[in-house]
Structure 1
Amino acid sequence: MSDKANLPALTKQVSELVLAGSLQHAEEAFSQAADEHGDYAVVEVLSTLPPQVTALHLAGFDGAKTSLATMLVPPKAWADSLAYLAATWPDNMIEDDPERLAEGLFNHVHGVVYANDDEDRRHELLQEASSTDHGATVFAIIWSLAPKEIMEVAGEINLKGRYVTGQTSSDSDIIPLAVDLAKATEDGWERSLIELFPDFRHSAEMADAEYPDDPDEDPDFQQRGTRELLYRLRKQVPSVRTMPRRSTRKSMGSDIFS
């Protein structure tokens, strides 16, 4: 049987494993496919999985966990899956602990974008992810964890362009991601900023804006909060009512390469 002939069976197997909650077994299926047929097989399967299934699988991994899927997911497939991430969150988490969800989202994005040292792939991932409305909201959610620093780095980017260093008044881990997004795609960076700060039409308009030093003081311009942005992302999930839910039943699946 040719490699391509195996792909539909592997796609079906991985989908069943993910929906059954067996993420580790899905990763093992990817690993076996890569060993026997090369990374090509994993990339092809990830490019054909339904985006909601990809979202369920990738949601189980972040920078602290090794995953072939995060290393090899095609940029377009990852960008499409981001639209479904909000459907994987418990209903009460947005209201009760929005910062925790936003931090988890940052870990997810960081884990995929920096899964390897390939700068071209990193830029492709960032370009695809930020090119959609839901992608802009994803990045705005992350920026909402450090809005003052994001505004500072936006000013630096306006002044220095690609020579920006990303130095701000704090050592936020979010800033390097923001700088890399701006370097990868000016349009994507602008979209994410405007999603966070809707009073502005362009980052250049932020040049004279000042973020108050007092954390209890509201800025003179509108800034969407983390909770509001999470709800905005939830509203953008396609067909939430038909979103596959991960089962609590464990399944090993079938070995298509035996």
Structure 2
Amino acid sequence: MSDDNKANLPALTKQVSELVLAGSLQHAEEAFSQAADEHGDYAVAEVLSTLPPQVTALHLAGFDGAKTSLATLLVPPKAWAESLAYLAATWPDNMIEDDPERIAENLFNHIHGVVYANDDEERRHELLEAASSTDHGATAFAILWSLAPREILEVAGEINNRGPHINVHTTSDSDIVPLAVDLAKASEDGWQRSLLELFPEYRNTADLADVELPDDPDEEPEFQQRGTRELLYRLRKQVPSVRTTPKRSTRRSLGSDIFS
């Protein structure tokens, strides 16, 4: 990319930020597409690396595995990892209280869509390692695990016994299991941190080997396990302050007023 083209990046960053904050996600994608056509994918990745993380979160929240997005394909791992904290600010308070599983499923679709946007295994591991290296990232993954705690315990047992870099066999066909295995392969520390967010009484994952969940999902387990709603609120509390950043337009409201 030439120096002249690099000089255009601040203007493109400003344009995309304004479009996203105005709720014009499709127009922001069109700006990315034009930049990619004129300057290559590098330009899009560079802009995504310089966007404020709360803007990246707002943009990516509009896309999941079912929707094509250049941002999803090209967001740098560090930029994506930082944006995960701000996703919680896009969730309506009443939905956290009334339908936490739906939010968790949407979060899974988002994370799955970014991680598996292409077949590049190295990029996949970089994304997972970056995302799970932060406190808010560990909480985000724990939210996903809370949808299938029994399956996650089974995976944890297999990985403890055989290691993460072999084929992990489980009795579950849950889409969450392959993501958990890939996280363990990408970052053993990130995997353990996410597990201990879900099961906070344990100091390491080896302690989970003998844990058994009750057959009745309404029955309280004998050990502490954070539920989906509790973890959603926990991530909400980890959203950094954005008081010094530009205000989003009032033309469209997404979630709470934490961006204003």
- Classify the TM-score, shorter chain: over 0.9
Is 1:230 aligned to 2:232, yes or no?
yes
Structure 1 contact 30–42 (Cα < 8 Å) conserved: yes
- TM-score computed with the length of structure 1 as normaliser: 0.93
Aligned mates of 1:243, 1:49 — CA distance in 2:
11
Aligned mates of 2:148, 2:104 — CA distance in 1:
11
Alpha carbons of structure 1 residues 214 and 164: separation in structure 2 relative to 1, 3 Å: farther
2:95 corresponds to: 93
1:136 corresponds to: 138
Q: What is the aligned length?
A: 250
2:172 corresponds to: 170
Alpha carbons of structure 1 residues 206 and 64: separation in structure 2 relative to 1, 3 Å: same
Supply the AA of the counterpart residue of 2:89.
A
Structure 1 contact 27–68 (Cα < 8 Å) conserved: yes
Query: Once the 2 structures are TM-superposed, how far is the Cα of residue 172 of structure 1 from its aligned partner?
Result: 0.8
- Percent of pairs with identical residues: 83
User: What do you get for the CA RMSD once the two structures are aligned?
Assistant: 1.6
Is 1:102 aligned to 2:104, yes or no?
yes
2:30 corresponds to: 28
Query: Once the 2 structures are TM-superposed, how far is the Cα of residue 162 of structure 1 from its aligned partner?
Result: 2.9
Residues 198-243 of structure 1 deviation map (CA, whole Å, 9 limit, x = unaligned) = 0111000111111222222222111000000000000000016667
Structure 2 contact 165–185 (Cα < 8 Å) conserved: no
- Identify the match of residue 113 of structure 1 among 109, 112, 115: 115
Residues 23-67 of structure 1 deviation map (CA, whole Å, 9 limit, x = unaligned) = 011000000000010001000000000000000000000000000
2:157 corresponds to: 155
- TM-score computed with the length of structure 2 as normaliser: 0.92
Supply the AA of the counterpart residue of 1:59.
A
Structure 1 regions of 5+ residues with no counterpart?
Answer: 251-258
After the TM superposition, which of the residue ranges 70-79 and 209-218 deviates more from structure 2?
209-218
Higher RCO by CA contacts (8 Å cutoff, separation 6 or greater): 1
Residues 108-145 of structure 1 deviation map (CA, whole Å, 9 limit, x = unaligned) = 00000000000000000000000000000000000000
Query: Once the 2 structures are TM-superposed, how far is the Cα of residue 179 of structure 1 from its aligned partner?
Result: 0.2
Structure 2 regions of 5+ residues with no counterpart?
Answer: 253-260
Is 1:13 aligned to 2:8, yes or no?
no
Structure 1 contact 87–240 (Cα < 8 Å) conserved: no
Aligned mates of 1:227, 1:237 — CA distance in 2:
16
2:73 corresponds to: 71
Structure 1 contact 127–181 (Cα < 8 Å) conserved: yes
- Identify the match of residue 219 of structure 2 among 202, 217, 234: 217
